[in-house]
Amino acid sequence: MFKQLSQPNEKSATDIHNRVILHVPMDRSLRCEFDAAARRPLRLRLRYAFVHTYKPVLDDEEYRSFESTAEYRRWCDEYLPDWLGYSDGTD
């Protein structure tokens, strides 16, 4: 899995780290997709990097504000589904 390119007598950890590469076998079609993605402009790559997923209750209003963190936590426990991960975990 790792291909060692450094000389065995080198002592510097940085040198060794910089010369060790991870070799991952990849089929040709996957490699072509990877290379094509790498050629895209950064702005386009960032656009495709994030997928919007609707979050019930959270996405239903533009914003919410709370007087305290405790109030926010109570609201999360009362209104948000557990699978969103906003509960305090004491259930």
Q: Per-residue b/e over 20-46, b at no fewer than 16 CB within 10 Å? A: eeeeeeeeeeeeeeeeeeeeeeeeeee
Residue-level pLDDT, tens digit, the chain, 91 residues: 445 555 555 455 555 555 555 556 778 888 888 889 889 999 998 888 888 888 889 889 999 999 999 999 999 999 998 888 887 766 5
Complete DSSP assignment for 9-36: T---HHHHHHHEEE-----HHHHHHHHH
The pTM score is 0.44
